[in-house]
Structure formats: C-alpha cells, structure tokens
Amino acid sequence: MTLLPAQIVLTLFVFVMLLSSAAGMVYAERKVAAFIQQRLGPYLVGPRGLLQPLADIVKLMFKEELRPAAADPLLFALAPILSATAAFAAFAVVPFGAQTTVFGLLDEPLRLQVADVPVAVLVVFAISSMSVYGIVLAGWSSNSKYSLLGGLRSSAQMISYELSYGLALASVLLVANSLSLTAIVDRQAGTWLGVLPRWFVFVQPVGFLVYLIAGVAETNRAPFDFPEAEQELVAGYHTEYSSMNFAMFFLAEYINMVTVSAVATDLFLGGWHGPLLPASLGWVWFLIKVAAILFVYIWMRWTLPRYRYDQLMRFGWKMLLPTAVLNLIVTAAGVLYFEL
C-alpha cells in the first residue's frame, strides 16, 4: 500500500477509535464510579455489563428530538455540531505512536499522526479554544434564562482556564525547544542513569499539575463542573437538548477528555516510549498512559466535592494563573542556567 490510502485509512481509524473511546469512557465511568461508591455498576447488559454503552446509544437514538419553539433553529442545531467538531479536530495533530510499517504491509513507514504540523501544540490550543462556541451558542439559542446563564458561566470558566492551560504548554515548550508534538515526544526517549525515564513530568512537575487542573476545568469536568451540574440544581447549557443533540454534547465532552489526556501523555509522560516493548508497539504504552490519566479524571469526579462558581473563578485567576506564570519564569531561568 502506498502512503496516501494509508493516510486515509489512518484518519478513518482515528475517527472510529475516538468514537469507541467515548463509548468505552461511558462504561468505564459508570463502573469506576460504582466501585468507588461500593456498588456494582452496570452488569446486566452483556458480559459484565460491557454492552451498556451500546444500550445507552440505542436509547438516546430512539428518544424524541425536541426543540423549544422560541429557540433559534439554526443556532440550536449548530451548537452541538460545533462542540463535536472541535473535539474531533483537536485530535488530528496528536501523535499516538512511532513510525510504523504496520508489520511490513506498507512501503514506507507511516507516522501514527493524522497531520504532522510543525506547530502542533498551537493547533491543539487553537482548536480547544473554539470549543467555547458550542457551549455559548447552546446556552443562547435555547432561549431560556437558565440555559443562558449556564452557558455564559461555563464559557467564562473555559476561557479563564485557557490562560493557565496555555502557560503550562509554554513551559513545556521552553524545555522541549520545539512546537511539534512528535519532536517533543522524541525528546523524552531514553532514561537518566538507566532507571528514570526522561519524561518531562520529572522536569516540570508543577507544569504537569497546572496542565491537568486546567485541562479538567477546560473540559467542564468535576470538580469544576458547576455550570453543568447546575442541572442538578437548576439547569445547564444543554437542558433543552434531547436525544442525539444531547449525545453529541457528551460525545464532545468525553473526546475532549481523551484529547487532554493524550496531549498530557505526549507532553509530559513520554508519549509512546516505555520499557520492554519495541518501538513499533509504542502505541500500547500510549494507551496505558492515556487510560491512567482518564482513570484519574474519573477518580477526581467521584471523590472531590464540586467547586462553587465563584470559588472556581477565584481559583483559576488568583491561584492557578500566578502559579503557571511563576512556573514559566522558573523554567526559563532553569533552562538558561542548566542549558537544557
């Protein structure tokens, strides 16, 4: 097979994998939540409840699609599409494996990345900043007070935490000296003293924490999900949505989580480098690391209490942002001094 059809197959493969990862996340979330809460979780549908996501999807497909009469029809339909598109598009520049020839089937090695752009980190940041629009438009077009407030709060939260997100990215860029995600991962190959892998999390522990916290806030997950959990209290930006529109929002949320985890793995945890496996099977290590971060995501949701909205904004502006800035300055000083 030459390279172009292989690229197309790779793109489709990534798309399908993202969809199934969202389905897997639905299952994993319910199971892990159940075990944290000392109960069993889904176990009826399929062996050990593994077909539960399928049942959920079928249920969502058969629900009635409602649209409030006062809603703006174009924007109402556009908002979930925007959310889902931004979520999928951000994964286009994330590499998830080393160059491989797929066990000798290909003529030349194919990099496991849909698009190898020299400014990949900026592209991820740019596309994730577009995901604000889906939420804001959903809140506005529903034409209901609570949706509007939820949408505005949620998007204000997202753009506030984008700053710390970007600064955490910038500190990694200082250490890695490149904007291309593949180059950043390749710099993390090898080990120090034969035992400690050269991952950037050991060089940038504060940066990793800032990135994860900002990532959790960006994806509107607990403990930063006040605008969403307003549903339990009052309403959120997707109150008026039902059936597949609603499914698109949650698809977008899970895929955003996967993207944040994947980018965190690439930037801080060494991507696909790991012991005991040949380079062409690096994607196994990648999956393990991404799964670990997703587990931490789910763990956080079901363990920590939720931040109130003003506490959340205060944390983002007054504690996380100065930390990120300080981290950047210290990293810059360190890079200069140690000539990393």
Partner 1 sequence: MLFYVFGAVAIGASLLVIAQRNPIYSVLLLIASFAALSGLYVLLDAEFVAAIQIIVYAGAIMVLFLFVVMLLNAPHEETAEDIRMHPLRHYGPMRFGALLALALLVELLWAVTRGQPGPDGFERASAGSVAGLGQVLFTEYAFAFEVTSVLILVAMVGAVVLARRDVKEKRTGPGS
CA pair distance 175, 336, nearest whole angstrom? 10
Q: Is position 60 an interface residue for partner 1 (rule: CB under 8 A)?
A: no
Do the Cβ atoms of 207 and 145 come closer than 8 Å?
no
Minimum distance from residue 140 beta carbon to partner 1 (Å): 6
Among 75, 287, 291, 325, binds partner 1 (CB under 8 A): 75
Among 19, 33, 152, 229, binds partner 1 (CB under 8 A): 152
Residue closer to partner 1 (CB basis): 141 or 261 = 141
CA pair distance 272, 213, nearest whole angstrom? 23
Residue closer to partner 1 (CB basis): 30 or 111 = 111
Among 15, 133, 302, 309, binds partner 1 (CB under 8 A): 133
**Helices (H), ranges, 142-189:** 145-176, 181-186
Binding residues among 77-116 for partner 1 as defined by CB under 8 A = 78
Element containing residue 192 per DSSP (H, E): strand 191-192
CA pair distance 51, 23, nearest whole angstrom? 10
Q: Is position 237 an interface residue for partner 1 (rule: CB under 8 A)?
A: no
Among 125, 283, 302, 317, binds partner 1 (CB under 8 A): 125
Which among 124, 263, 260, 275 has a CA at the least distance from the CA of 198? 275
Q: Is position 119 an interface residue for partner 1 (rule: CB under 8 A)?
A: yes
Residue closer to partner 1 (CB basis): 21 or 256 = 256
Q: Is position 132 an interface residue for partner 1 (rule: CB under 8 A)?
A: yes
SS3 274: coil
Q: Is position 138 an interface residue for partner 1 (rule: CB under 8 A)?
A: no
Among 159, 234, 304, 333, binds partner 1 (CB under 8 A): 159
Which among 153, 134, 127, 152 has a CA at the least distance from the CA of 241? 134
CA pair distance 16, 8, nearest whole angstrom? 12
Minimum distance from residue 81 beta carbon to partner 1 (Å): 12
Binding residues among 164-193 for partner 1 as defined by CB under 8 A = 179
Which are the contacts of 47, defined by CB distance < 8 A and separation ≥ 6?
A: none
Minimum distance from residue 123 beta carbon to partner 1 (Å): 6
Instruction: Name the token pair of 203.
Output: 């060089």
Q: Is position 5 an interface residue for partner 1 (rule: CB under 8 A)?
A: no
Residue carrying the six token digits 């991952």: 199
Among 112, 114, 127, 222, binds partner 1 (CB under 8 A): 127
Q: Which residues pair with 196 in a beta bridge?
A: 192
Q: Is position 136 an interface residue for partner 1 (rule: CB under 8 A)?
A: yes
21-53 in b/e form (b: 16+ CB < 10 A) is bbbbbbbbbbbbbbeeeeeebbeeeeeebeebb
Residue closer to partner 1 (CB basis): 22 or 170 = 170
CA pair distance 33, 123, nearest whole angstrom? 33
Q: Is position 217 an interface residue for partner 1 (rule: CB under 8 A)?
A: no
Residue closer to partner 1 (CB basis): 118 or 190 = 118
DSSP state, 191? E
Q: Is position 335 an interface residue for partner 1 (rule: CB under 8 A)?
A: no
- Interface residues with partner 1 (CB under 8 A) are 72, 74-75, 78, 117-119, 122-123, 125-127, 129-130, 132-133, 136-137, 140, 148, 152, 155-156, 159, 162, 179
